[in-house]
Amino acid sequence: MRNITHIVVHTCGSASKGKALHQTVDQVRAYHMSKGWTTLGYHRYVERDGAVREGRPDMTTGAHAAGFNATTLGICCSGHGDVEPFNSAQMAGLLHQIVLWCRKYNLTADNVLGHRETDDHGGPQVYKTCPGLMVDMALIRALVANKLEAA
C-alpha cells in the first residue's frame, strides 16, 4: 500500500487563441497513451461540467508530477488555468474529490498542492504555472479545510 502524503492539483494546460480548450478524460487518456504511458497519468480528472472521472487507481503510482509521484495523488481539471479559473462545477467536483481523499488518507488541507508548489515540498524544481495563475491554491486549501471541519 502506498503512503499518500499529498494531493496535487493540475490543469490540462490546453488553450488556443487565448481560449481554454476543454478535453474529455478519454481525449487526455488517449494523449497520455500516445506518449507510451499505460493510461491516464492522473488518478482523477474533472471535466468542464464538474464530473469527476476515474484515472489510475489510488494505489497505482501516477505520472503527473515528475519526481513527486510516489506518495501523491494527482487530480486534473480540464481547461487552462492561466487562461480561465476553474468554473463553479469544476470547483465543486474538485473539492468533493479532495475532501474524500483527505478523509480516506488522513490528510489536511495543507497537504493539497498545486503542481507549481511541489518543489516547496520535496519535489524537483517546477518551471510551470500549473494549475495556472488564475487558480488560487490558497482559496482551494481554505475551502477544503472548511469542508473537513464541517464534517
Whether the Cβ atoms of residue 11 and residue 79 lie closer than 8 Å to each other: yes
Amino acid 43: pLDDT = 98
**What does each of the 151 residues of the chain score in pLDDT, given as a tens digit?**
899 999 999 999 888 888 999 999 999 999 999 999 999 999 999 999 999 999 999 999 999 999 999 999 999 999 999 999 999 999 999 999 999 999 999 999 999 999 999 998 888 899 999 999 999 999 999 999 999 999 6
Is residue 74 packed enough to be buried (19+ CB in 10 Å), middle (13-18) or exposed (0-12)? buried
Residue 65 CA to residue 114 CA, distance in Å, equals 10
SS3 label, residue 82: coil
DSSP 85: P
What's the whole-model pTM score? 0.96
Amino acid 137: pLDDT = 98
